[in-house]
Amino acid sequence: MNTRFFLPIKIILALVCLLVGSVGCVLTPSLFDPYNFKDELHMQTHRAKVDHLIILLDASISMTTPYLGKEKFQTAIMALHQLNQSLTAIRVPTGFRVIGTGACHFCENSKQLFNVSPFDPSRLHIKHLKKIHPGGESPLASAILEVKNDFTHLEGPLGLIVISDWDTDFLLIDTALRRLCDHYANRIHMGNIVAGTKERAVELSKAYENLNECVQWYHAEKLLSYNGLKDFTQQFFLTPVKDQDADGVKDFKDKCLNTLSGALVDEWGCPKDSDADGIYDGLDMCRKTPENAPVDSKGCWKLPVVFYKKNQIHLTREQEKSLALVVNILGKDNICLEIQGHTDISGTDQENFEISQKRAQSVKAYFLSEGLRHYQMRIKAMGSSVPLDRQYQTMKNATQRRVEFKVVPCQNQVQ
24-75 residue pLDDT tens:
444 444 444 566 666 666 556 777 889 999 999 999 999 999 988 889 999 9
Mean pLDDT confidence for 277-291: 91
Confidence at residue 300, expressed as pLDDT on a 0 to 100 scale: 92
Q: 88-117 pLDDT, tens per residue?
A: 878 899 999 998 865 454 455 678 888 999
Average pLDDT, the chain: 85
Please name every residue paired with 337 in a beta bridge, in sequence order, or none if there are none.
377, 407
Confidence at residue 65, expressed as pLDDT on a 0 to 100 scale: 92
Phi-psi region of 27 (alpha: psi -120 to 50; beta: other; left: phi over 0): alpha
Q: Model-level pTM greater than 0.75?
A: no
**Confidence band for 11, pLDDT divided at 50, 70 and 90:** very low
Confidence at residue 91, expressed as pLDDT on a 0 to 100 scale: 86
Mean pLDDT confidence for 377-405: 88
Name 61's Cβ contacts closer than 8 Å, sequence gap at least 6. 100, 134, 135, 136, 137, 138
Confidence at residue 39, expressed as pLDDT on a 0 to 100 scale: 66
Confidence at residue 26, expressed as pLDDT on a 0 to 100 scale: 44
Confidence at residue 104, expressed as pLDDT on a 0 to 100 scale: 52
Confidence at residue 253, expressed as pLDDT on a 0 to 100 scale: 81
Domains of the chain: 17-240 (3.40.50.410), 306-408 (3.30.1330.60)
4 pLDDT more than 70: no
Confidence at residue 18, expressed as pLDDT on a 0 to 100 scale: 44
Interatomic CA distance for residues 135 and 139, integer angstroms: 12
Q: Where are the beta strands (DSSP E) in 137-264?
A: 158-164, 188-194, 215-219, 238-240
Q: 227-243 pLDDT, tens per residue?
A: 888 888 888 888 877 88
Helices (H), 192-348: 198-207, 226-237, 317-322, 324-332
**In whole angstroms, how far apart are CA 285 and each of 68, 161, 296?**
71, 54, 10
